[in-house]
Amino acid sequence: MSPLPGPDDPGRLHPATLLLAPIRQLGAWAVPLVIALVAGSRSSEGLGGFGLVLLVLAVTFVGQLVRWLRLRWWVEDGAVHLRTGLLQVENRTVPIDRIHNVDVVEPLFARVLGMAELRIESAGSSGADLSLSYVAADAAQAIRDALTASAGASDELEEEPPETTVLVRTPTSELLVAGATSNRIGALAIAAGAAVGFLIDSGIDPEGVLDSAWDLVLLAPWVAGISIAVAAVVIGWVVSIAQSVLRFNDFTLELVGDEAHRSHGLLTKSSGRIPLGRVQAVAVTQPLLRRWLGRSTIVAETAGSVAAGVDAGTGTVSPIEHDARVPELVSTMLRRAGTGNERLQPVSRLAIRRGFVRAWVPLAAIGVAGAIWLSTWWLGLPLGAAPLAWWWSHRRWVAIGYRLEDDLLVCRSGVLLRRRWFIPTAKVQAAGTRATPFQRRLGLADLLVESAAKGAATVRVIDVEADEADSLAERLSLVSADTAFRTDAV
């Protein structure tokens, strides 16, 4: 019996979904609800903050109940249909032959209740076209397999199951390195908020702690500044490492036939598939610390991939990988013999001059303003910053490079965050140039390349000589047009 429901007996969400919505709403409203509870506990009139909490839970439950009662989905005429809404009815349809990815995501609470979220995405979308949250976990896997099989029904049937090859299996030690080399300010802010909450819960007076810290700043500002900086780095590293391990724990990427299957996660289990034939581009990123350690992160941009969290529209190939294996994995994702010659063509050296002006002029303006309004010592800012700005602009120029082969475009840029794009020319949807008045005066232009992938749509090679940029754009456009007539480039 097919796990795909028909129009006569449409599918519904799991009944336990009604329990998760209030829990998620409490998490989203945690800070204001805590404030309301504290304020309500000091009031002798009515329920105070407790009444607000009960009201939020009641409204959320009623809204989720209406959604659960009204949401229906089914498969008919080669498409997945979803209908939801009470006053405003919404109908969504995704043709099965346009489905690129079907992902199953299992958050912690949902997994405890035996549920999973099913995300269905088609070509060109920047997020899930259809999201079924939540259905039974075993049903989610069966539905994904059935939709994937239906989407590839036009392919020849294989007599034997495709061979499975493990491409990537990331050990925990490497995830620790990944977290330690991607320090995030946002994670630091979360940790700071949690620390304040801990102080309050422990009965410690935060104002007293701040007063003591301020006294230290007044007595020994350099010691305080260094201590704060060290604490920020350490806390940021710890939180980043924890996020890396929680998100990518037991990361595995397997090659199954013409698809790459990935699975990962400690609390939230995530799994998905990357159809190699629909990979639009591969991006290799290296934060500065990771680059010094010879490590990279590899992601595949597909026209319709789905991944959990900040990676929407991106399928992770490897969260952290030794640079020696990068060419092999990129070649596998692009289904080509190799990534070709690694030497890249530099852009015009005039890019150094433009980079220096863009980096130094704002500092010079600040220095002049400070000299006028505060002290002439501020004039030292533009003078001292000039060598640094020149060094930065030179490193920026060194980082920028490109190479166009018959079937592959390679672009590179970034000083602190180095990124390389590998874009098959057959996947290029549009190519053109853009030049500011300053660039036109120097005979420069930016090369713009777009594909059907969300992230790769912004690929840009800056400060190329104008004639060269026009020639590259014309070559890419001709290849793209020729490919569109010969095959489905998506």
Is residue 448 predicted with pLDDT exceeding 70?
Answer: yes
Q: Give 243's contacts (C-beta < 8 A, 6+ positions apart).
A: 179, 184, 187
Tens of pLDDT, residues 63-76: 778 888 888 888 88
pLDDT for res 444: 94
Q: Which residue has the higher pLDDT, 434 or 210?
A: 434
Is residue 104 predicted with pLDDT exceeding 80?
Answer: yes
Is residue 419 predicted with pLDDT exceeding 60?
Answer: yes
- CB-CB contact of 228 with 214 (8 Å): no
Is residue 123 predicted with pLDDT exceeding 80?
Answer: no
Q: Which residue has the higher pLDDT, 162 or 35?
A: 162
Name the nearest CA neighbour of 60 among 26, 110, 37: 26
Percent of the chain topping pLDDT 70: 71
Is residue 310 predicted with pLDDT exceeding 50?
Answer: no
pLDDT for res 331: 93
What DSSP string describes 325-346?
Answer: GHHHHHHHHHTSS-------EE
pLDDT for res 138: 82
Q: What is the mean predicted confidence (pLDDT) over 147-169?
A: 68
SS3 475: helix
Q: Name which of 28-42, 61-75, 174-188, 391-405 the model is least confident about.
A: 28-42
Q: Name which of 134-138, 176-180, 422-426 the model is least confident about.
A: 134-138
Tens of pLDDT, residues 5-44: 888 888 888 888 887 766 766 665 555 656 655 555 545 4
Q: What is the DSSP letter of 305?
A: -
Q: Which residue has the higher pLDDT, 21 or 472?
A: 472
pLDDT for res 487: 42
> What is the fold of 17-151?
PH-domain like (2.30.29)
Is residue 108 predicted with pLDDT exceeding 70?
Answer: yes
Name the nearest CA neighbour of 119 among 138, 134, 97, 139: 134
Predicted TM-score (pTM) of the model is 0.67
Name the nearest CA neighbour of 408 among 392, 421, 390, 395: 421
Q: Which residue has the higher pLDDT, 444 or 197?
A: 444
- Mean of pLDDT over the chain: 77
- Element at 484 (helix H, strand E): helix 466-486
CA 243 – CA 258 distance, rounded (Å): 31
